[in-house]
């Protein structure tokens, strides 16, 4: 995977999490949100970790 692809993947996963949270009443509440929202954030976090593990920021 190239740096450009990794950066794009990170942006896409973050955008998916934000788009979901903006329209999900459970995610917009002060609680932990819904399972889908949590999964999207977890996917984003994994992408960021992988990106940093490659020695890029």
In the chain, domain spans: 3-53
**This model's pTM is above 0.85:** no
Average pLDDT over residues 3-27: 85
Using pLDDT thresholds of 50, 70 and 90, give the confidence band for residue 19.
very high
By the 8 A CB rule, do 47 and 8 touch? no
Share of the chain above pLDDT 70, in %: 84
Q: What pLDDT score was predicted for residue 57?
A: 54
Q: What pLDDT score was predicted for residue 5?
A: 64
Helix axes 3-23, 35-53, angle to 10 degrees: 160
Q: How far is CA 45 from CA 22, 25, 41, in A?
A: 18, 22, 6
Counts for the chain of helices (H) and strands (E), in that order = 3, 0
Q: What pLDDT score was predicted for residue 33?
A: 84
Q: What is the mean pLDDT of the chain?
A: 84
């Amino acid at each position: 995977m190239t740096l450009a692809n990794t950066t794009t993947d990170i942006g896409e996963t973050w955008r998916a999490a934000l788009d979901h949270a903006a329209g999900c009443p459970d995610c917009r509440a002060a609680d932990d949100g819904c399972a889908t929202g949590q999964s999207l954030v977890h996917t984003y976090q994994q992408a960021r970790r992988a990106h940093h593990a490659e020695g890029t920021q």
